[in-house]
Structure 1
Amino acid sequence: MIAVPASAAGDGRPAEERGAAGRPSLWNIANVLTMMRLLLVPVFVLLMFADGGYDPAWRSLAWAAFAIAMITDLFDGELARRRDIVTDFGKIADPIADKAIMGAALLSLSLLGDLPWWVTVVILARELGITALRFWVLRHGVIPASRGGKLKTLTQGIAVGMYILVLTGPLATMRWWLMAAAVVLTVGTGLDYIRQAVVLRRAGLSAAEAERDRER
């Protein structure tokens, strides 16, 4: 039986997702979803502020754009890992897209007076701070996403989505409680990530010191 090269036989990925030498193409489905999410950010902002920013119809369209962006966030990373099409572009662009759409939503809501500024500041400071922390300890290891972090993201998305819509009555009260839960999860998981980063860095420094001692 004649052996067929893996690149010719296929590796489970569609041909358009493979570039030169079998490497993942930039234009794979995961990266396309990420780029679409980035493009939705200015569209979302325009819809939020259309007609003064308080028209229920425009706000519903803004919610639809936000919901699409959040849904694609659930799939692009998973698709990249499952199809083995992870690229350097995706590693950089995916977290940027995540922060961009959430940041745009929080800032828009605060500018329109729908969400207290302190909530926006707390959430954005946590998100940017933990991202910087991950890069700071990257040479010692990767801080994995926790279940609490995933629950935080889900709660944030639902709460912010409800604030984007023009709601009254019990639903307006419900979104307040959801946002309160999101803030608690944001702070709590942020503190846990800081703890993990400190432990990871100490372990990395200890390992490096032990390696130097062996080389002496």
Structure 2
Amino acid sequence: MELNLANKITLARIFLVPIIMIFLLVLRFDIGQVHVGPVTLTVSEIIATLVFIVAAVTDGLDGYIARRKKIVTNLGKFLDPLADKLLITAALISLVEMQRLEAWIAIVIISREFAVTGLRLIAVAEGHVIAASTWGKAKTITQIVAIISLMLNNIPFSTISFPFDWWATRVAVLLTIISGIDYFYKNRKLVNYTKPS
């Protein structure tokens, strides 16, 4: 099966995940440091952040290309949410390991992703497609902003002693919970559905 452009972009996002983790967790002390006000960042953390931003941008790009060129495929429908969840989950776990993120926040966000993925699988089995909601899109944006701020150790806000990363993670958690409730409420009939015998 030949991959189209949108699917290739999605696969590229998946391949960027281990690269981000290598720069965050393996090389973080080995290739130099940068001092910004009271905060010190390693060069590898900056590289990991840039790679994460590129990966996050491709999240919308692959879907846009698939819709515009009318090349939406079942493989793409499978790979795209998988790539998103791998990217966010890997980043959150790495940040917990780096002690920049409380474990409970990562658990809440990852648990919601598993729950909604399960709901989507139920929907697919019943011949339904659950489209991304406004809450879901807002959740994704706030998660990305929070992760970037944590990767950069709150730079540039650390120079003015404003805990932007702290607030960003709380907003992300709030929208994660709200969007999860929204998905399950709107699709409650699928959860309660019993196939006639």
The yes-or-no answer on 1:34 pairing with 2:2 is: no
Checking the alignment, whether the CA contact within 8 Å between 2:135 and 2:182 is kept in structure 1 is no
State the aligned residue count: 183
Shift of 1:201: 5.0
Shift of 1:80: 0.7
Q: Which residue of 1 aligns with 2:36?
A: none
The amino acid across from 1:108 in the alignment is S
Structure with higher RCO (Cα < 8 A, 6+ apart): 2
TM-score normalised by length of structure 2: 0.85
Structure with the largest fraction of strand: 2
Checking the alignment, whether the CA contact within 8 Å between 1:41 and 1:100 is kept in structure 2 is yes
State how far apart, in whole Å, the 2-side matches of 1:31 and 1:171 are. 42
State how far apart, in whole Å, the 2-side matches of 1:108 and 1:189 are. 24
The amino acid across from 1:118 in the alignment is W
Structure with the largest fraction of helix: 1
Q: Which residue of 2 aligns with 1:184?
A: 174
Checking the alignment, whether the CA contact within 8 Å between 2:28 and 2:42 is kept in structure 1 is no
Listed one character per residue, the Cα deviations across residues 150-186 of structure 1 (whole Å, up to 9, x for unaligned) are 0110111011111011332447611211111110000
State how far apart, in whole Å, the 2-side matches of 1:156 and 1:51 are. 22
- Is the deviation greater in 154-163 or in 52-61? 52-61
Listed one character per residue, the Cα deviations across residues 14-60 of structure 1 (whole Å, up to 9, x for unaligned) are xxxxxxxxxxx733210111111011011100010113497431111
* Identity within the alignment, %: 35
Checking the alignment, whether the CA contact within 8 Å between 1:152 and 1:182 is kept in structure 2 is yes
Gaps of 5+ in 2: 31-39
The yes-or-no answer on 1:159 pairing with 2:159 is: no
Checking the alignment, whether the CA contact within 8 Å between 2:123 and 2:190 is kept in structure 1 is yes
Aligned CA-pair RMSD:
2.1
Gaps of 5+ in 1: 1-24
The yes-or-no answer on 1:81 pairing with 2:67 is: yes
Which structure has the bigger radius of gyration?
1
State how far apart, in whole Å, the 2-side matches of 1:198 and 1:171 are. 44
